[in-house]
């Protein structure tokens, strides 16, 4: 378990774990044009060795802009199955409004 950014000054904290052979990427904080690249680096690294399935644990996401939404869309082009687990209400609504709910598995 490793944080990509130190919590003291990070907009987003990314923690990569593994559950039953599936990478689970815990995102917390703000996922915006500044921090999306940091999250992308961790997601790309996880998918390099596990391209079949990835879980994005999103219960800690406090803000997301179009860069964060673009990141979610990009992950679907790299992994065969992408699950967004426990999205905050605003994140869930944005996923629905953008139509990403048709290509992402959104679970409570």
Give the C-alpha separation, 10 to 49, whole Å. Answer: 26
- Residue with the bigger pLDDT between 6 and 75: it is 75
pLDDT tier for residue 50 given thresholds of 50, 70 and 90: confident
CATH number of the structural domain spanning residue 91: 3.30.750.24
Task: Count up the domains in the chain and report the number.
Answer: 1
Give the C-alpha separation, 30 to 10, whole Å. Answer: 9
- Is the CB of residue 107 less than 8 Å from the CB of residue 83? yes
Is 5 inside a domain boundary?
no
For residue 6, is pLDDT > 70?
no
Q: What is the mean pLDDT of residues 96-101?
A: 96
Q: What is the mean pLDDT of residues 36-44?
A: 92
Is 101 inside a domain boundary?
yes
Cβ neighbourhood burial of 27 (10 Å; 0-12, 13-18, 19+): buried
Q: For 64-91, how does the pLDDT look when each residue is reduced to its tens digit (9 = 90+)?
A: 999 999 999 999 999 999 999 999 999 9
Give the C-alpha separation, 107 to 47, whole Å. Answer: 20
Q: For 13-34, how does the pLDDT look when each residue is reduced to its tens digit (9 = 90+)?
A: 999 999 999 999 999 999 999 9
Please provide the average confidence, as pLDDT, over all residues in the chain.
90
Q: What is the residue range of 31's domain? A: 12-107
Cβ neighbourhood burial of 84 (10 Å; 0-12, 13-18, 19+): buried
């Amino acid at each position: 378990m490793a944080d990509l950014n130190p919590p003291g000054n990070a907009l987003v904290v990314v923690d990569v774990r593994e559950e039953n052979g599936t990478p689970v990427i815990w995102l917390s904080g703000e996922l915006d044009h500044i921090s999306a690249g940091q999250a992308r680096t961790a997601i790309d690294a996880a998918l390099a060795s596990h391209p079949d399935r990835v879980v994005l644990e999103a219960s800690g996401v406090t803000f997301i802009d179009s860069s964060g939404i673009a990141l979610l869309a990009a992950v679907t082009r790299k992994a065969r199955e992408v699950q967004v687990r426990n999205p905050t209400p605003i994140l869930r609504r944005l996923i629905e409004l953008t139509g990403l709910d048709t290509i992402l598995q959104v679970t409570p």
